[in-house]
Structures are given as structure tokens and as C-alpha cells.
Amino acid sequence: MTMDSTVLSTPGAGDSVSYPLDPLSGAEIETAARIITESEYGTPTLKFVMIQLAEPDKTPELTFAGAEVSRQAFVTMYDGAAKMIYEAVVDVVAGTIDAWKAVPGRFPSYLVEHMTGVEEKVRQDPRWQEAMRKRGVTDFSLAMIDPWPAGYYGQQDHYDNSPLICRPLTFMRAAPSEHGYARPVEGLIVTFDLDAMEVVDIEDHGVVPLPPKAGNYDPRFMFDPDNRPAFTHFRDGVKPIEITQPDGPSFTVDGWNVQWQKWSLRIGFNPREGLTIHEVTYTDRGETRPILYRGSLSEMVVPYGDSSPTHWNKNVFDMGEVGMGFSANPLTLGCDCLGEIHYFDGTVNDSSGNAVTIPNAICMHEEDYGISWKHTDFRTEEVEVRRSRRLVISMICTVGNYEYGFFWYFYNDASIEVEVKLSGVLTTGSIPEGELPRWGKMVAPGIYGPNHQHFFNFRLDMSIDGPGNSVYEVDSVPEPDPALNPHKNAWITQDTLVASEAEGARDWNWSTGRYWKVANPSKVNELGAPTAYKLTPKEVVPVMVQEGSYIYDRARFVQHNLWVTKYDPAEMFAAGDYMYQSADVQGLPEFIADDAPLEDTDVVLWYTVGAHHVVRPEDWPVMPCAYAGFHLKPVGFFDGNPALDLPPSPPAACHSAHHAGLPVAERARES
């Protein structure tokens, strides 16, 4: 792994902040917490859930260049004694609390200590210990206890003065550091009170033998003959690939602002969303043109399709119930990125209001991406070819067993791609010998992976050449007039305006090659058409969540591929602000209820990406990356190919061993 030697310019605790959209520094996080703690609102039982930037209101120019730096923190808190969430806006410069609000009847996402404090308490519970002895386990120190969010069992989870709960699941290691997910303890469910930090109840649905075979991926275990390894040594013939940029990377970084070729953007980070992208513009013939005001993951959910007691209620909102920023990896433990890399630290808070730095939470680098465009004139044998390059901005999060990589790609043809990479370890179930799972697939003897899906909703606050945009659904259909289609080969495209929020929930149609276009009716290209970008799916999966299930109402955003709303700064999360331990319909269905007009206004796209997972033995013991995402591409935004001005690659970059001795003309033709 190669890393540049530039000192990180990301502000940290105590550093000055130069732009209104910069994430809160560590000093600002702790200042906000101190102001609240020392105020009349502070109590001994008040805990800080999330402390993040209260982003300033949009300006007409869609930028804060030259604006006064105003710094406010948006703080969510939970008082377990009062069973109450509080929200506050704190001016960290003036030292004032500018707003305070109680949010009754809701539950917060996890506090930091919940992820680490539950395990030891469960191990000490005599009811849990007795259930483990029934399964032949006496060394409780080898138990892995994952504090799964509660999901929703019914009204017993949400009544007046309900405790905040989780439902931990148990797995067994055979030795310290060994792969515990290979031995799930089936049928054992704990209900745990996170307010009192104690076990409330134990459900034991019967003993299922622990799977007999290890599932390790750590070389310390894989090469142990007693561990029945899948292979005995690393494969041969893998020669190094080195990515070098002798003159350094093509991007420049100033704080959180990034300039790369004709792109300009700002990077953000907060505990809930993790990586955010702001003020994306592209310079075209000297004009700086806005494209995307703000882009972020707005929510995700993982519904499981298994009716057995241990699995039916696994429906975690990993962002809203845990927090992607809290879950971000420090990208220093392996080759997560390759090349000349610039890292950004992420700063979050603990429940006492202390700042916690995640080193290298965001990775940025350039990648070669094959051919951008090429043509060979076969008559003259003249060849013109340009290589594509993309700027990669990424974050990888670990939420229990799964890893999620979130990648934003900016290409030199002015397109944008968002990709989710899914890896890590399956959540598993045990099954008696000789049986086959009905709602999953076997991955190893005695162990199966339940059927499940992953859905990620991305919030895209569009600004195509400015804030006044309209959204069209574009379908390709056979020529409808028979007189104009005598050869039965003609087809046309039809644009359907999404006129209001009542029409804003849209679904993809494979048979028409559907995509969605965001256009600016006030600006036209040289052909007289409104400038626009289009959103195109990469892969669309069917939704298996069924009406009548609790998760159907809790995650309504998965029911449509695209939602379109009018911009409202209070509407940030597709499933609502607080979905933990609640079955209420929140989020996007509420956002569109007022049926706001959408033509020539400030629009927000909410696009849902899905991953459909029927597991394979090849997904075990650790899963190769699966990919999901979408593209944003210019469609009439430019008057021609925006990558036409790319310079040719130098010959040295295109050499190969087999033609090193060929004449220059022949080498050019082969390259």
C-alpha cells in the first residue's frame, strides 16, 4: 500500500475551521457537550447519542464561498431515567443553546457503550449460562454475543415507559480469535434492557448441536492440519501490482475541499451518515456549473426471510439504529485503497460528549478505469484512444458481522457512480444433521445462511445548473403509430414529468429501459434542450418484504426504487429520524403526503439500491465482495463529449513485454 506524505489537512480537535460545511472538529464536539452539561438541561443520566454539524441553510448561490463561518452543533441525547430523547442546536462559538426539543415516544440509536457493554453482562446471567450448559458449553469466555438491535416483536416493545432494549444473539469460538460465526447458538434469544444494562428475559427454543466444522479465514488457523483447512498454502504466481504516480496525484486538497481535473466538491462526515458529499460542481469552458448540492446514504435495512425464532426479526437499520460514522473503519489495517492516497480522519463522540477520532476514516485516490473513448480509422490506420480515470472517495464500515464499503466515483467524462461493496461474514444459523433449511442455503456442515436482502437508500439533493429542476421518467417504447412503423423496428422515448410528490414514488421498468432525468428548464444546450443528468440503475432486485410484516411498515422506502420530494431541510432520512423499536410508518411516505409541486423547483431524489442474497458455499467463511449501485450521467448537460480534451497517455504507460521491440507505429496500433 502506498500513501502520500502530505500531512492530513482535515481539521481535528483544537484546529480552526474555515468553511461552514466543514464537519465539527473534536474541540467543537466537546464544547457543545460541555455547554449542555453545564446548562439547566444537564442531568446525571443524560447521554450524548450523536453530536454533529447543524448544516447552515442553503444560499441562493448554492455555495458558502466568502460567507461568514457560523458554527452550530446538532445534538441528540437520551436520558434513560426519563425515557426521553432530546434534540438541541448549540452555537459553539457564542456558547449558547439556540434550540431545545423533547422527542417523546421514540427511542435512540445505540450509544457507543452498548456495542461493548452488553456482552459481559449477558455472560454473567445465570439463565443464559444454564442454556449454554444444555448445549455442552462450559467455557463462557469463548462466547461471542452480538447486541442486535431489538427489531420489533409487537406492542410489548413500545409502550409508555418502555425500556430501550436489544436482542443479543450468541456464537461460540473454539479458541480465542477463532471465527465465532461458524458456531451460531441456534434458538437462544436474549432480551436486554439497555437502560438498566441487565438481562430481562431469555428465550430458548430448543437445543440444536453446534456445527462441527471451523470456518476460519485467518492464516493462523487455516494452515492448521487439525482445523481441516480449505487450502494448505497461498496461491503461487501472484506478482505485485504497484500503482505509482511519480508527479503525485492529480487532485488537490484544502481542508475538506477537493479539486480534481474539472471537478470541485467538499467532503463531510458525521456519526449517523458517515461520508457525505457536498457542493459538487464541474467547470465547463470556464463556467462552474453545479450538479449535486448534497449526496449521502440516507438509510439502510437488512430484512431476513427466515421464519425460525432466531432469525425472523433480524431487520436492522444499520445506519439509523447504529450509525455508519460510528462504524467506520480506520483504513490502516490492510490494503483497502491502492495508489497515492489521501486520508481524512473522522471525528465522532462518545456518550459522555468526548471527541473520538477515527484515523483515516475516508480514503481518496485515483484509479485508471480502462478506455474512455477510442476510434480507429481503418482507411488511414490512425488511432485515437484516451484512458478513463476516476477519483475514488470511500468509507468502509463494520456492523457486527458485515462489512459495507461506500464508494463515490467521479469520472473524467463528468459522470458519477455510487457503489456499495458488501463483504464480511454471513449471519448464520445451525441446523440438525440430516436436515436442510427451508429459508436459506447450507454453507458448511450443520450451518446455513438465511435468505436475506440489503437495501440502501441514497439521498441526492440535485442542483443541475441551479436549484430549479424538474424530474422526468424516460421510457423507450415501440413506435405507437403503425403508419410510422411499417418495418416494426422503430421505437421512441417518452418523457413523463413527475409533477408532484403524490406521483413521486416511482418504480423501474425493465421492459422500457427506464431511467430518470433531472433537467433545468431555465438553461438549454446548443440544441435547445434543457440541460440534464440522468439516473440509471445498475441492478434492480425484487422486494421480498411482504405487507403485513412489521418491517413492511418500518421500511416503506424499499417499496419503490425512486422517490422524488421537494427539498425540505428537515427531511433527511428515508425511514424517519427515530425508527428504533417502533413500527410506525415514518420517513418518505410522510414526506410526500403534502403533495408539494415538483416542477421547476428544488428537488431531492431518494434512490434505493438493493442486494438480493441467496447465499452460496462460496460466500463462506468470508464473503467475496458483492456490488450494487447506480450512475448519474450527463444527458444534454454538455454540447458534446466532455472527455474529448483528455490528453493521450504517454507511450511508457502502455508498454507490454511481447511488443517492446516493435516499431512505434505498430506499438501504437496495439496499444
Catalytic residue among 402, 409, 533, 580, which? 402
Query: Could you give the dihedral angle defined by the CA atoms of residues 136, 142, 147 and 153, in that order, rounded to the nearest 10 degrees?
Result: -10
> How wide is the angle at C-alpha 62 spanned by C-alphas 60 and 67, nearest 5°?
85
Has 600 been annotated as catalytic? no
The candidate with the shortest Cα–Cα distance to 411, out of 387, 394, 395, is 387
The alpha carbon of residue 136 and the mean position of all alpha carbons in its chain are separated, in whole angstroms, by 40
Strand partners, 274: 270
CA gap 314, 484 in Å, rounded: 54
> How wide is the angle at C-alpha 580 spanned by C-alphas 575 and 581, nearest 5°?
125
The full length of the chain comes to: 671
Residue 524: other Cβ atoms inside 10 A? 14
CA gap 275, 325 in Å, rounded: 7
Residue 654: other Cβ atoms inside 10 A? 15
The alpha carbon of residue 292 and the mean position of all alpha carbons in its chain are separated, in whole angstroms, by 18
CA gap 180, 172 in Å, rounded: 5
Cell digits for 99?
A: 434550540
Residues 6+ apart with CB under 8 A from 155: none
The 3-state DSSP class for residue 225 equals helix
Has 402 been annotated as catalytic? yes
Strand locations in 235-305 (E) = 251-254, 257-260, 263-270, 274-284, 287-303
Cβ atoms of 499 and 470 closer than 8 Å: no
Catalytic residue among 146, 318, 465, 577, which? 318
CA gap 151, 99 in Å, rounded: 31
CA dihedral over 333, 612, 172, 399, signed as positive or negative: positive
Identity of the residue numbered 326: F
The candidate with the shortest Cα–Cα distance to 118, out of 130, 126, 110, 108, is 110
Active site residues: 318, 402
